[in-house]
Amino acid sequence: MTMNAPTPSEIGSQLITFCAAGMLVFQLLLVVQRMLLTNIRLFALQSLLLAAIAGIVGFVNNATHVYIVAVLTLIGKVLFLPWLLDRQVRRIGITQEIDPLFGPPTSMLLCGGFTLLGYVVARPFTALERLGNNTLGVAMTLVLTGFFLMFNRRKAITQVLALLTVENGVMLAAVALTTYGMPLVVELGIFFDLMVAVMVLGILVYRIRESFASMDTSKLNQLKG
Amino acid sequence: MPYNMEFSPGVLLALALTGYLLGAAGALALWKRPRAARWWSFGGAFVAATCGLCAAIAALVQGADGSSWSVKLPQLMAYLPMDIPMKLRLDSLGAFFVLVVSLPGLAVSLYSLGYARGFEGCRSVAALGALFNVLLLAMTLVFVAGNAFLFLIAWEVMALSSYLLVSFEHEKPETRRAGVLFFIMSHIGTGCLILGFLLLFQATGSLDFGQFHAAGGGLPAGKRDAIFLLFLTGFGVKAGIVPLHIWLPAAHPVAPSNVSAVMSGVLIKTGIYGMARVFFDFLGAPPNWWGVTVLTIGTVSALLGVLYALMEHDLKRLLAYHSIENIGIILMGLGASLMFVHSGHPALATLALIAGLYHTLNHAVFKALLFLGAGAVLHATHTRNMEEMGGLAKRMRWTALFFLVGAAAISALPPLNGFVSEWLTYQSLLQGFGTTESLIRLMFPISGALLALTGALAAACFVKAFGITFLAQPRSESARQAQEGSRTMLLGQGILTCACVFLGLFPMLLLRLLDPVTQQLTGEQLSGQLTTAGGLVLSTGVPGAGTISMLGITVAGLGLLVVPLVLWLAFGRRARTRIGPTWDCGLQGLTPQMEYTATGFSKPIRMIFKALFRPRREVQREYDFSPYYATTLRFESHVEEVFQTRIYRPLNLLVLRFSRRLRALQAGSIQAYLIYIFITLVLLLLWTL
Amino acid sequence: MPLLALLILIPAAAGLACLPARSPRVMSALGVLACLATLALGIALLGQVLDRGVVTEWNEFLCADALSAWMVLLISAVSLGAALYAGRYFQRDLDAKAVTPGRVREYFVLTPLFVAAMFLVVLANNLGVMWFAVEATALSSVLLVALYNRQTSLEAAWKYIILGSVGLALALFGTVFLYAAAVGPAAVGKLPSFNWSHLITVAPQFDHGLIKVAFVLALVGYGTKAGLAPMHTWLPDAHSEAPSPTSAMLSGVSLKIALYALLRFHILTTACLGPGFSGHFLLGFGLFSMFVAAPFILVQKNLKRMLAYSSLEHIGLICAGIGINTPLTIFGALLHMGYHALAKPVLFFAAGNIHQTFHSLKFRLIGAGVVKVLPVTVLLMSLAAVAAIGLPPFGLFVSELTVISGALAAGQTAAGALIVVALVASFCGILQQLTRILPGARNDASAGDARWTDGVAAMVLLLGGLLVFSIWLPGSLQEIMRRAAAIIGGKG
Amino acid sequence: MNLNPLAIVLQTALLLALAPLMSGLIKNWKAKLQNRRGPRIWQPYADIIKFLRKDMVISEHASWVFPVAPYVVFISALVAGLMVPMLTAQAPLSLFGGVLAVIGLLALGRFFLALGGLDPGSAFGGMGSSREMTIAAIAEPAMMLAIFTVAIGAGSTDLSHIVQASQGPMWNMLNPTHAMAFVALFIVLLAETGRIPVDNPATHLELTMIHEAMLLEYSGRYLALMEWGASIKQLVLMTLLVNVFLPAGIATEASPGALAVSAGAFVAKLLVVAAEVVLVETTNAKLRLFRVPDLLSAAFVLATLALLSTFLFK
């Protein structure tokens, strides 16, 4: 059995798998962590890994537009959005999430289940992945857990954050499944939409806070039936 | 042939339809000028109805071979991928029912000319006139629709316009409730009809009635029975059969009386038309239980209808309940006919069918007449409560006379039309006994006996209705002030009264008109066998099974008037007549309070049928010194409408409670909403594995 | 003349032009003009599509087939009605100090953008672009929902945007899967096109697993935006809290736009897997939506919420019709789309008048006898209601009948029966609820500042159109609908 | 089938003549059975003539219905009588209607009788009408069922046919069907003619009378017609009973001999029925109004049994 030097693509897929795993870890930390600021940091790190994956993909099959995606992710999700949310949180002055729907132990248990589900759903398509293995599974898990995070937390900010992690999952899937990510125009559109969405959400959170004197979304329950 | 007309029924029908259309349109155009609108719309309706009448008669006379006359409409709604020939088809059955709608229609239109004046100033006469025309138009269209699509459109327009007419005086909450109940029931029925027709569509691949003919034959039994039940329910709601009748006594009274007349006289007959059309024309040879079901429903409806009518002291509600009774009688004819078709006795089936159809026309005539009379009374006394009436026979002589004739007719008293059709029903039931060996045949005499009970109770009910309303002293000031209605109102009632007498004395003319109808439905023509002695005597078709001649009876009766005359000449010529007070047991004269009330009149019946009515009574006495002499006494007595309280109310509550439970799903928590989506997602993902 | 581009640019321009404008009158005028222009363009587009089959622009970035053309017509018609109605509506609100001028400007700026986004949805050739156009419609309308800045309206907006974004994230996920499926057959190394015109040709070679997951995700995602139960929960909130013209547009078209996006996936899935898979899902969700809507209508306390649930009912019917997937039912569904788009806004406009006059939407607080105060509004509302509950002479009766008969003709007897039951149930509900307020006596003639002309132009326009098209449908429309049906049915 | 004017005249005369006699007879026999002398048999004729001579007092509240009623009651009973075979098996007016017409005509008379009772506005009249109509209503099904039973046997509702059919070798009374139907119809007869135990023709106690209560306001000529009509109705029902169930001796052709025989037989049979009525009336007490339904439902059950037996004993 001889050791021959690994091709860049093999190394690439190793790295991608590693980063994907990292994203998953951060996601799980997000689920248990209650401090809002820490949550934002964790999200930033997760996005950083996503950018890294994009970069690696771009490098491996030297596709310029994937670099662009990486850069956009870096600017948007790693720097701009965390900064924005950070500002919001400081302005509002609420530091931590109180009484989520499920406590940490239950959450972890459920997330384990979602991970399982993610992998099960992704299994048939591992053959299609050209880079990394089971990245798709990770992506699916990210989406599911992000979703879980959304209805587990009550603070508007956390829900926005969760939404963004779902987005991350989707982008990861895009990279994992299609080698090159989506066509550039789509990527741009998605990025643009994301920014606007966060702006709008910010505006709403602000208005809600000033008319409800809180950003606890479980207080938003006057519309019934 | 006494009536050989050259002009085509088609032209006349087209004239009638356009007449209604113009009547409606003109009324809307004259919105601001009630008087003009009244004359235009109801005049138009009168002309149109007359054309319709001629069209029907002409078609029945010419189409004696069962041929149908049809016209293609301009291709409205032709954009559907299915091909739906928009064609009106005036076949014999349709023509007969056009007759049923047009005859009362023209009388009621005349009546409305005077009646609607009462609305001028307080509410829109134009709307009334327009809707009235639309209603008549829609009903006529229902009878001549050539395919299920057109039929359903006409059916729904009919329901809509009648709903609006029922809610015409929408300020009263009672009216609004009644309207909604009516429309909801009617729409549930329509749902059944849609499914029924579409099942036939599924079978034949077409919506054309021509294609539907005997389409049921090819279907598997289960599907046929499903179709039968769907149509029975759908048309049954409209016809007001028990237990689907609850909307009827609520809706008919609150409508303006001319509308009640049309609704009770004709509208509910659209259900009968549908049943005749579907059961005899579409579904092919019926299994026995269909006929048994229809006969049973008919008997039950007849009996319960009249029993509840007896408990009413609201004149119009009373009449409405009688509609249920008469629908029952009609259905007895139809049901028996179905059974005979099954057992292979076409002639007998035809006899029963004729009985049903004849009663359909008769009921249309005398029920419209009675409602018009009730309307005149309402118009004069401003109340529907019989306990506040009385003594009207002196103040409204003609109305009283017309109402009396109507009452006698609906109580099936000779020599009027009601008796003739019930006689035919009896005869068919009687002969039905021989058609089968099974125990089923006991149904015929039993339901015959129950029909007799029904008839007798109806007589009791109308003695009460006429006696309390028109006889004795007025029970209220408004009754004392009552005035006779306007000339057109009397004319309208007069026409129907004459129709009652005519249809009683000369049934054979109508029988000849019925020939093509029976030819179409059962393949037999009986008018020949049914009339003997130069067409003056009605027989059962079977030699020696019984004959009757209202004409003969009338003549004999008039002839025998000689006897009292002779007696008077012999003895009584010197006897004089004085007007004196009624015997008052030596009190200071009788007051209206001492008269028998409507409630009191029906008390024995209420007691006898306790089990059904579950009467409740509340008596409150107040004394000042001795427990034996009450100073004030308050007495209340209620009768329970079993279907209302035992079936519909619980059902309604159940649905509402269920829905309220469901509202908990939309409790406002966004977390919950997210979870719904999440669960859906997970389930679907698992599905794809 | 670049029709498609203009269709998107004109409203966008009109929206931006409102930024500097001063008086509401000018802004509403701008809106009306823009909508008139788009309507004209839509009709022109109809002609072109009938001639050339498919119209493409900007080297195939924009593309319009029969289905798109049909949707374009719906959008422009409804938005024209809303624009006509909005002017007087906000004038009354301003007089009543219900909103600030700034917010009114917000409306007049955002609404045209909303319209433009919807046009982009139906005209985009690239499904990714279609996705972010749908997201754009959500983003442009959410602030409209929050316009009144009441606590309830903010709540509604928040639910709308959160649920909407989640849904759209899933839709994006679905889009990604679809793209992966598209990549699959393509040669390694080159970026395959994501254009509809390309996908429809290669659809049969897609990987079945991927397309299944793609469709399921799109179903949940776009289904949320289209308000299919059980993802519909934002719908009644948003519809009831938004200003009436916005409610009209949301229920009149935006639901159908999301459905359109879903349909694109449905078509591809059908082309790949055959009719069974996606059709059954659509049928199931459609029926479920109808049955969820009915009881809520039955015990509803709020006028606009009731209307919203009735929209849910109709969307369900459309969905079911398409799910049954025979030419007849699809045609009926498209027909129903059109008629509903014309009828429902009228109801919302009338509800708006009632709201502004009686300062409440609760049946209990409105009370009986509205007719005594707002006769014309009530007349038009009753007509629209008659249409909405599916009675002749209005076309919804025909389209419903078409769908049901199609269902039976296709042997789906149970589905047909269920549809009838649900329709009858919602009929009972709406009839009973409206009878609580419209007719009856009223002693306090609290007419407020209501004028009988309020919003009549818009209502009459839409109702007139509805009535005319119910009785007589121009050949061109019939043809476009037939072709659209063919496209959906997979024979285009 | 043709109409024979002579027969019509004769039967009319027979009805007019025989009816008062029957009620007189019954009154007289009843008195005898109760050890009273009682009125003469001919008393009813005298009464009728007296009434015809007397002036009339008409209530001030009465409307045009009041004077019409007596004529309708009288004539309808008479016409009904002409449809029932009395001496000859062929009833004079059988062409114009069978048993159903008879029932219908009697109902017509009752209808107007009740209206006449309501018209003057006295409480008694109302009470009488109410009870009359009620009892008639619950008597109707039993009557109809009994009639149906024989009609089915004869396959006709034409009384002449029924009579001819039930004539024949076998002695019909022994047939259980006919026996039960006969009893049922007899009970109905008691109810219809206002006899004890249903109504007491002799009383004028306000609260117990039914038929008399309706006549309370009638006087003179009208009263005569009413009473006479009532007795004719009674005679018609009795004739129906006897000739349908024991048609023995009835003339099938109009030869003097046959007629004489049948006349004798007819009178004999009538006397038997009258005797039965008298027996029942003297041996029973009047029932409470709300017990009457029990009696009549018993009749109904009997009739039903009769019907069942038609093919149980076939």
Query: pLDDT tens across C54-75, in order?
Result: 999 888 899 999 999 999 999 9
- Closest listed residue to residue B118, CA positions, set B316, B375, B315: B375
pLDDT tops 80 at residue B74: no
The mean pLDDT value for D81-108 works out to 92
Q: How confident is the model at residue A156 (pLDDT cuts 50, 70, 90)?
A: confident
Query: pLDDT tens across D212-245, in order?
Result: 889 999 999 999 999 999 999 999 999 999 988 8
Question: Quick check: C155 and A223 CB within 8 A?
Answer: yes
Give the Cβ contact number of residue D168 at 10 Å: 9
How close D75 gets to chain B, by Cα (Å)? 6
pLDDT of D168: 60
Rounded alpha-carbon distances, angstroms, from residue A33 to A28, A160, A166, A214:
9, 15, 17, 21
- Return the partners of chain D (3 or more C-beta pairs < 8 Å): B
What share of chain D in percent tops pLDDT 90?
60
Q: How confident is the model at residue D173 (pLDDT cuts 50, 70, 90)?
A: low
Q: Which of residues 29-88 of B touch C (CB under 8 A)?
A: 76-77, 79-82
Question: Quick check: A218 and B685 CB within 8 A?
Answer: no
Q: Decide if A167 contacts A173 (C-beta within 8 A).
A: no
Structure-token pair, residue B517: 């109808």
**Residues C426, C389: Cα–Cα separation, whole Å:** 8
Q: What is the Cα D91 distance to its own chain's centre?
A: 17
pLDDT tops 60 at residue C118: yes
Residues of A whose CB is below 8 A from C156: 223
Q: Which of residues 356-395 of C touch B (CB under 8 A)?
A: 368-369, 371, 386, 391-393
Residues of C whose CB is below 8 A from A182: 128, 175-176, 179, 194
pTM: 0.94
- Choose the closest CB to A185 out of C126, C146, C184: C126
- Choose the closest CB to B582 out of D49, D120, D149: D120
- The sign of the CA dihedral C57, C59, C60, C66 is positive
Mean pLDDT of chain B: 90
pLDDT of A211: 85
Residues of B whose CB is below 8 A from A144: 682
pLDDT tops 80 at residue D312: no
pLDDT tops 90 at residue B235: yes
Residue of higher predicted confidence among D63 and A103: D63
Query: pLDDT tens across B495-545, in order?
Result: 999 999 999 999 988 998 999 999 989 988 888 888 887 778 888 888 778
pLDDT tops 80 at residue C188: no
The mean pLDDT value for A63-85 works out to 88
Residue of higher predicted confidence among C237 and A124: C237
Query: pLDDT tens across B266-294, in order?
Result: 999 999 999 999 999 999 889 999 999 99
Question: Quick check: A223 and B670 CB within 8 A?
Answer: no
Structure-token pair, residue D96: 């114009």
Query: pLDDT tens across B408-453, in order?
Result: 999 999 999 999 999 999 999 998 888 888 888 889 999 999 999 9
**Residues D283, A122: Cα–Cα separation, whole Å:** 101
Please count the structural domains in chain D. Answer: 1
The mean pLDDT value for B208-218 works out to 85
- Return the partners of chain A (3 or more C-beta pairs < 8 Å): B, C
Query: pLDDT tens across C313-366, in order?
Result: 999 999 999 999 998 899 999 999 999 999 999 999 999 999 999 989 999 999
Residues of A whose CB is below 8 A from C241: 223
Helices marked H in chain A: 8-32, 36-60, 64-73, 81-92, 104-122, 135-152, 156-178, 184-212
What share of chain A in percent tops pLDDT 70?
93
- Choose the closest CB to A101 out of B667, B671, B681: B671
Question: Quick check: C162 and B674 CB within 8 A?
Answer: yes
- Closest listed residue to residue C161, CA positions, set B674, A174, A79: B674
Q: Decide if B424 contacts B355 (C-beta within 8 A).
A: yes
- Return the partners of chain C (3 or more C-beta pairs < 8 Å): A, B
Domain span holding position D258: 5-312
pLDDT tops 60 at residue C189: no
pLDDT of A136: 87
Question: Quick check: D97 and B604 CB within 8 A?
Answer: no
Question: Quick check: C152 and A128 CB within 8 A?
Answer: no
pLDDT of B639: 87
The mean pLDDT value for B597-611 works out to 91
Query: What pairs with residue C362 in β-bridges?
Result: C302
pLDDT of A134: 77
Q: What is the Cα D73 distance to its own chain's centre?
A: 13
Query: pLDDT tens across B140-188, in order?
Result: 999 999 889 889 999 999 999 999 999 999 999 999 999 999 999 999 9
pLDDT of B66: 43
Q: Decide if B604 contacts D130 (C-beta within 8 A).
A: yes
Q: One-letter amino acid identity for C356? A: Q
Residues of B whose CB is below 8 A from A120: 689
Please identify which residue in the block is written with the tokens 């049943």. Answer: B275
How close B159 gets to chain C, by Cα (Å)? 10
pLDDT tops 70 at residue B71: no
Q: Which of residues 177-196 of C touch B (CB under 8 A)?
A: none
The mean pLDDT value for A139-161 works out to 90
Highest mean pLDDT among B574-583, C111-120, D213-222: C111-120
Query: pLDDT tens across D135-146, in order?
Result: 999 999 999 899
The mean pLDDT value for C26-42 works out to 95
How close A5 gets to chain C, by Cα (Å)? 23
Find the closest chain B residue to D102 by CA distance. B414
How close D57 gets to chain B, by Cα (Å)? 5
Locate the domains of chain B by residue range.
296-555, 594-638, 643-688
pLDDT of B8: 79
- Closest listed residue to residue B349, CA positions, set B330, B361, B359, B334: B334
Question: Quick check: D126 and B596 CB within 8 A?
Answer: yes
Q: Which of residues 159-198 of B touch C (CB under 8 A)?
A: 160, 167, 170-171, 173, 176, 179-180, 183-184, 187-188, 190-191, 194-195, 198
**Residues B19, B23: Cα–Cα separation, whole Å:** 6
Residues of B whose CB is below 8 A from D110: 459
C359 DSSP 8-state letter: S
Structure-token pair, residue C181: 């499926």
Tell me: cis bond preceding B415? Omega within 30 of 0 counts.
yes
**Residues D143, D138: Cα–Cα separation, whole Å:** 9
pLDDT of C133: 95
Query: What pairs with residue B70 in β-bridges?
Result: B89
Q: Decide if C71 contacts C122 (C-beta within 8 A).
A: yes
pLDDT tops 60 at residue C136: yes
What share of chain C in percent tops pLDDT 90?
78
pLDDT tops 50 at residue D206: yes
Q: Decide if B103 contacts B53 (C-beta within 8 A).
A: yes
pLDDT of B73: 55
ipTM for the predicted complex comes to 0.93
Mean pLDDT of chain C: 92
Structure-token pair, residue B102: 């047009």
Question: Quick check: B445 and D152 CB within 8 A?
Answer: yes
Question: Quick check: A120 and B689 CB within 8 A?
Answer: yes
Name the pairing type of β-strands B537-539 and B87-90: unpaired
C148 DSSP 8-state letter: T
Q: Decide if B125 contacts B116 (C-beta within 8 A).
A: yes
Residues of D whose CB is below 8 A from B544: 155-156, 158, 161
pLDDT tops 50 at residue B1: no
How close C208 gets to chain B, by Cα (Å)? 10
B633 DSSP 8-state letter: E
pLDDT tops 80 at residue D249: yes
